């Protein structure tokens, strides 16, 4: 066990009484409660945490927060492993196990030679150029790149052992960020009585106040944070959510939050709580107090381990009690660097400051008071070191900042802390649709014009002084509460902050000179995660990429899991400089959710496994299961697919079921068929306007097969409707189309014909239906009913009768989808199983065979009956199906006019035909493409495709339905179905393979 050589003896918010053991890259190390993985590594003197994406350069911890581009780790193992986590945000717990995820070929090995090679292989635009030419280039490079990229592994074991939850909440004011501005906003809004949610992504609220030595009311700022939290805790309507990242700002003030409920605990140690929770918040008003991200500076070899953001160095000292180095070089383009210099010096680090501005600012006095050397007008020429920076060359800059004005001097250092300025964290504001403006003084984008009900306060608004941030936060919280109808928060007491020196402007020096005095140019990194250099940006500019969105895609800058939080503005500044334009003229990139990566687990919540989608079963489901049925998913329904007997293959079972339906009697569960009751004096009129054929004159007691089209004339659905009474129809739909057809009827009824007195209701689940098919169907049914006259004269085909079947009130319809003598018996859903078992029992002596959807499909295909959605695809008219006779001449209906359009009258439209294979045993694959003849040079004209294809045991040969160009005129023609390896000769036939006159079903 090592002893944390870089841990300070005192100070910070870690608990030295609670040491925690953890494993990093196979090494056992120790940190303290309150550490992040990053701070614990630094306390152990470990800066090198991975290798870079393209060049495999050693990389260290750059930041202390969400913006981290380098320190990406693979956390834990097995089913709980998680990639792409930022070590700067992973809270340490006992037994934590983490690996660097990008360390090919190894973390420690120096691969300088490989770097050079890779560097030439992967210039800007590499991916695009490789995709384009040579044609097979990508195939060659892909394997190499995938292995080399090393962006983490998804868990290969499963299922995820953890539980995730979701919350849906409304609030008056959502405050994002619990730094000084956010706390002040929440206090003001909370005091007004508004329902407030304060969400903060860190382990504890306080934000920047946890990382500084500033005082409030003369006390350490953390004291005030504690008091503020106590005040908020006493407010009933305020909810504080720590460890909660607001990652999406959507329309109408809808925000999505990911709360890491137990991620900070050892895996599996809190089984009574979810791992993470997704909050979906609809907020009346939002206050964004999301702070700011510090910008790196772009100089030669600015990527070595030990080079980090100045604010991060300060955070490690003050919040985590880590002394990150012995000798530090602090590089400043902004006053923020001096606070870091002072804090480092005060824990014994030897510090030199290099300021790229010609004059040192007023705050440099604090540094000089600590004997820190301040070199104004200087920059970093380059750095030295392998797995850790060990020296840097500095030299005076010329007036423009584009070249050097003197010789370089080498400074030994094991830390370079840089502050190129601060970017307000405008991600959520931008996601909300807000417009940004350029602040030249601080060289950053700030929120300008909101489009939703949102306010921005503190550093996120470009208000960087503590006193001003507090005031702005309170004003924002109060204004938000007022806008939501509350008042009284304006007078909340704020603590007094120290008055600092007036800040000097930030110098927007986007890149230091690319060439050392008298030397060769070296890499200046802009995007650390994607290894994009200032030269790559220059190359893109030379190749004509002038839009920032194109620049991003071409160089991949900002396209990593960090979404360019530390790189976008620098890239923009460099591009603007090359184009001779101002930054705001070049534009800014669009920020999209999520702000930081979100787990699939938290998005899915409990909707996984059996709960992923509702399962609908019919009242007879238990019987099917007991009979060993295999099931098919039809929408959400579980339908029996076939009922294999022991030893039977699917083919055997389906053939047996098919033969039984044509030669004896067979039974199908048809309960899932969509059923809609259409009622009212104008019910017949509505159906007349919807269906291609007429329904108004259908007599009570009769049924009719109907076809409905969309207004463009294409078939939407089909099914049988029964007239139950003068003012009442029962409409049947395809199983998968039930909801769609009901919505279709409602749309026309409500929006186009509100004058019609008619109402539509789904009754699909109110009825259970057993469908008997086969020559013995009538005799079997006759044994189960005494009050329905089954004589064909009294109860003809396409009629329905009410009565009792097996003692149960029933409605019996003589309709047939199989082409056999067929009766569909419907009873109240609660009687479904009783009806079914009674039929099964009575049917034994007739050889009654249950059959599933597969047999149903075969039987209907033998008859050439279509299935809407299988033999049609939204491009097929009734005429294309050969059902022109169903198109009424003397009435209008939805889609009728379209059937007379030039396009729908074309003779070469794809039309429904049957196909016979020359080899009767060959069953064509559905979707098979049909061409005129085998062979030929591509492109070969496609004539159509196979829509349905089966083995027909009844006919002793295969059958297929197909949509073929000009098919109706091709009967008898020989065509070819082209398969990947061979072609199958077929003959076009009429789509009715069996009993074309329908004698069996009418008899």
Partner 1 sequence: MLLIECPWCGPRDEQEFGYGGEAHIVRPADPHALDDAAWGEYLFMRTNRKGAHRERWVHSEGCRRWFNVVRDTVSHEILAVYRVGEAPPAAGRRGE
Catalog residues that contact partner 1 under the rule CB under 8 A: 250-254, 282, 433, 451, 711-712, 743, 746-747, 750-752, 754, 892, 896-898, 900-902
User: In the complex with partner 1, which residue's Cβ is closer, 478 or 682?
Assistant: 682
Least distance in Å: CB of 353 to partner 1?
A: 47
CA angle 702, 741, 752 (to 5 degrees): 100
Least distance in Å: CB of 759 to partner 1?
A: 11
d(CA 824, CA 672): 13
The tokens of 914 are what? Answer: 């049957």
Least distance in Å: CB of 596 to partner 1?
A: 21
Q: In sequence order, which residues have a C-beta less than 8 Å from that of residue 359 and are 6 or more positions away?
A: 376, 377, 504
User: In the complex with partner 1, which residue's Cβ is closer, 595 or 823?
Assistant: 595
d(CA 734, CA 736): 6
d(CA 63, CA 86): 10
Residue 87, phi-psi category: left (phi > 0), alpha (psi -120 to 50), beta (remainder) = alpha
User: In the complex with partner 1, which residue's Cβ is closer, 156 or 751?
Assistant: 751
Let me know: does 904 contact 911? Beta carbons within 8 Å: no
User: In the complex with partner 1, which residue's Cβ is closer, 707 or 858?
Assistant: 707
Let me know: does 284 contact 253? Beta carbons within 8 Å: yes
Least distance in Å: CB of 740 to partner 1?
A: 10
Radius of gyration of the chain (CA): 37
The burial of 528, by beta-carbon neighbours within 10 Å (0-12 exposed, 13-18 middle, 19 or more buried), is given as buried
User: In the complex with partner 1, which residue's Cβ is closer, 171 or 216?
Assistant: 171
What is the DSSP code string of 750-802?
HHT-TTS--EEEE-GGGEEEEEEESTTHHHHHHTT-SSS---TTTS-TTBEEE
Least distance in Å: CB of 547 to partner 1?
A: 21
Least distance in Å: CB of 928 to partner 1?
A: 32
User: In the complex with partner 1, which residue's Cβ is closer, 4 or 764?
Assistant: 764
**Sign of the C-alpha dihedral computed for residues 440, 441, 442 and 446 taken in this order:** negative
Least distance in Å: CB of 677 to partner 1?
A: 14
3-state secondary structure 915-960: EEECCCCCCCCCCCEEECCCCCCCCCCCCEEEEEEEEECCCCEEEE
User: In the complex with partner 1, which residue's Cβ is closer, 904 or 978?
Assistant: 904
Distances (CA, A) of 148 to 98, 151, 180: 19, 9, 42
What does DSSP assign to residue 359?
S
What does DSSP assign to residue 46?
-
CA angle 840, 844, 848 (to 5 degrees): 70
User: In the complex with partner 1, which residue's Cβ is closer, 60 or 895?
Assistant: 895
Least distance in Å: CB of 901 to partner 1?
A: 5
Instruction: Output phi, psi for 782, to 5 deg.
Output: -60, -30
User: In the complex with partner 1, which residue's Cβ is closer, 131 or 254?
Assistant: 254
Least distance in Å: CB of 902 to partner 1?
A: 6
User: In the complex with partner 1, which residue's Cβ is closer, 498 or 711?
Assistant: 711
User: In the complex with partner 1, which residue's Cβ is closer, 280 or 945?
Assistant: 280
Element (H, E) at 638: strand 637-642
Least distance in Å: CB of 148 to partner 1?
A: 40
- Residue 240 DSSP SS3: strand
The burial of 301, by beta-carbon neighbours within 10 Å (0-12 exposed, 13-18 middle, 19 or more buried), is given as buried
Least distance in Å: CB of 929 to partner 1?
A: 29
Least distance in Å: CB of 551 to partner 1?
A: 26
Instruction: Output phi, psi for 88, to 5 deg.
Output: -75, -10
d(CA 800, CA 724): 9
Question: Which residue's structure tokens are 């010609």?
Answer: 358
User: In the complex with partner 1, which residue's Cβ is closer, 250 or 264?
Assistant: 250
User: In the complex with partner 1, which residue's Cβ is closer, 120 or 252?
Assistant: 252
Q: Which residues pair with 392 in a beta bridge?
A: 383, 411
Give the residue from 689, 691, 705, 715 showing the smallest Cα distance to 904: 715
User: In the complex with partner 1, which residue's Cβ is closer, 28 or 592?
Assistant: 592
Question: Which residue's structure tokens are 């014009």?
Answer: 449
Least distance in Å: CB of 434 to partner 1?
A: 11
Question: Which residue's structure tokens are 């055997």?
Answer: 652
Least distance in Å: CB of 757 to partner 1?
A: 15
C-alpha 508, offset from chain centre: 37
User: In the complex with partner 1, which residue's Cβ is closer, 52 or 253?
Assistant: 253
C-alpha 63, offset from chain centre: 27
Least distance in Å: CB of 592 to partner 1?
A: 15
């Amino acid at each position: 066990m090592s002893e944390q050589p870089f841990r300070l003896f005192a100070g910070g918010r870690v608990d030295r009484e609670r040491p925690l053991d953890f494993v990093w890259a196979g090494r056992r190390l120790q940190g303290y409660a309150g550490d992040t993985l990053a701070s614990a590594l630094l306390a152990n003197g470990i800066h090198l945490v991975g290798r870079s994406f393209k060049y495999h350069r050693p990389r260290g911890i750059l930041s202390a927060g969400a913006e981290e581009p380098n320190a990406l780790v693979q956390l834990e193992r097995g089913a709980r492993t998680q990639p792409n986590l930022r070590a700067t945000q992973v809270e340490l717990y006992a037994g934590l196990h983490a690996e660097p995820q990008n360390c090919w070929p190894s973390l420690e090995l120096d691969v300088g030679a490989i770097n050079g090679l890779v560097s030439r292989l992967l210039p800007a635009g590499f991916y695009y150029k490789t995709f384009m030419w040579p044609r097979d280039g990508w195939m060659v490079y892909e394997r190499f790149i995938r292995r080399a990229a090393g962006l983490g592994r998804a868990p290969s074991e499963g299922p995820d052992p953890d539980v995730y939850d979701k919350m849906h909440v409304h609030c008056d004011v959502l405050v994002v960020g619990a730094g000084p501005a956010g706390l002040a906003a929440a206090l003001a809004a909370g005091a007004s009585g508004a329902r407030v949610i304060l969400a903060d992504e860190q382990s504890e609220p306080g934000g920047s106040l946890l990382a500084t030595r500033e005082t409030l009311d003369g006390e350490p700022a953390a004291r005030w944070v504690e008091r503020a939290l106590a005040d908020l805790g006493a407010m009933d309507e305020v909810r504080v959510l720590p460890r909660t990242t607001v990652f999406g700002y959507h329309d109408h003030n809808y925000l999505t939050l990911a709360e890491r409920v137990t991620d900070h605990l050892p895996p599996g140690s809190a089984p009574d709580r979810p791992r993470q929770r997704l909050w979906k918040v609809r907020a009346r008003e939002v206050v964004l107090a999301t702070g700011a991200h510090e910008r790196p500076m772009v100089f030669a070899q600015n990527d070595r381990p030990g080079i980090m953001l100045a604010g991060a160095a300060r955070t490690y000292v003050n919040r985590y009690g880590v002394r990150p180095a012995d000798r530090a070089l602090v590089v400043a383009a902004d006053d923020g660097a001096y606070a870091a210099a002072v804090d480092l010096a005060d824990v014994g680090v030897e510090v030199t400051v290099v300021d790229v501005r010609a004059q040192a600012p007023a705050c440099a006095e604090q540094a000089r008071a600590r004997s820190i050397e301040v070199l104004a007008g200087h920059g970093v020429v380059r750095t030295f070191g392998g797995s850790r920076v060990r020296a840097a060359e500095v030299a005076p800059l010329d007036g423009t900042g584009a070249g050097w004005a003197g010789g370089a001097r080498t400074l030994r250092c094991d830390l370079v802390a840089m502050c190129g300025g601060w970017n307000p964290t405008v991600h959520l504001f931008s996601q909300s649709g807000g417009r940004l403006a350029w602040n030249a003084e601080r060289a950053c984008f700030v929120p300008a014009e909101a489009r939703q009900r949102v306010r921005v306060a503190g550093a996120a608004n470009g208000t960087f002084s503590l006193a001003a941030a507090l005031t702005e936060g309170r004003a924002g919280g109060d204004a938000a509460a007022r806008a939501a109808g509350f008042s009284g928060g304006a007078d909340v007491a704020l603590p007094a902050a120290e008055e600092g020196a007036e800040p000097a402007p930030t110098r927007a020096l986007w890149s230091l000179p690319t060439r050392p005095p008298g030397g060769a140019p070296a890499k200046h990194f802009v995007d650390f995660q994607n290894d994009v250099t200032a030269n790559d940006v220059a190359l893109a500019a030379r190749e004509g990429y002038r839009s920032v969105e194109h620049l991003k895609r071409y160089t991949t800058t900002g396209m990593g899991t960090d979404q360019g939080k530390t790189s976008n503005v620098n890239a923009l500044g460099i591009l603007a400089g090359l184009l001779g334009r101002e930054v705001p003229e070049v534009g800014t990139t669009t920020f999209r959710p999520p702000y930081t990566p979100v787990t699939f687990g938290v998005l899915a919540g409990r909707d996984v496994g059996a709960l992923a989608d509702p399962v609908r079963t019919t009242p007879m489901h238990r019987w099917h299961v007991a009979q060993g049925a295999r099931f098919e998913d039809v929408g959400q329904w579980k339908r029996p697919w076939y009922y294999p007997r022991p030893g039977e293959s699917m083919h055997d079972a389906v053939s047996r079921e098919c033969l039984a339906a044509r030669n004896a009697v067979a039974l199908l569960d048809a309960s899932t068929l969509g059923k809609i009751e259409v009622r009212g004096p104008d019910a017949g009129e509505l159906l007349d306007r919807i269906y291609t054929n007429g329904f108004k004159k259908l007599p009570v007691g009769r049924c009719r097969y109907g076809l409905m089209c969309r207004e463009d004339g294409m078939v939407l659905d089909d099914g049988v409707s029964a007239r139950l009474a003068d003012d009442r129809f029962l409409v049947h739909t395809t199983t998968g189309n039930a909801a769609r057809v009901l919505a279709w009827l409602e749309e026309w009824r409500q929006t186009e014909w509100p004058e019609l007195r008619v109402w539509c209701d789904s009754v699909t689940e109110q009825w259970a239906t057993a469908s008997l098919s086969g020559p013995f169907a009538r005799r079997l049914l006759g044994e189960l009913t005494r009050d329905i006259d089954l004589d064909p004269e009294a109860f003809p085909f396409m009629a329905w009768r009410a009565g009792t079947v097996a003692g149960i009130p029933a409605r019996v319809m003589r309709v047939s989808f199989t082409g056999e003598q067929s009766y569909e018996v419907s009873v109240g859903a609660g009687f479904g199983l009783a009806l079914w078992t009674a039929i099964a029992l009575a049917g034994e002596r007739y050889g009654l065979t249950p059959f599933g959807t597969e047999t149903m499909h075969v039987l209907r295909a033998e008859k050439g009956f279509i299935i809407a959605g299988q033999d049609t695809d939204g491009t097929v008219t009734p005429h294309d199906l050969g059902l022109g006779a169903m198109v009424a001449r003397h009435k209008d209906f939805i889609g009728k006019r379209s059937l007379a359009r030039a396009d729908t009258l074309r003779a070469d439209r794809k039309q429904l035909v049957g196909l016979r294979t020359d080899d009767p045993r060959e069953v064509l694959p559905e979707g098979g493409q049909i061409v005129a003849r085998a062979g030929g040079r591509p492109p070969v004209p496609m004539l159509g495709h196979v829509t349905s294809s089966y083995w027909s045991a009844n006919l002793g040969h295969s059958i297929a339905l197909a949509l073929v160009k000009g098919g109706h005129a091709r009967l008898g023609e020989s065509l070819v179905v082209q398969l990947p390896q061979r072609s199958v000769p077929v003959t076009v036939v009429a789509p009715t393979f069996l009993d074309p006159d329908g004698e069996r079903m009418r008899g």
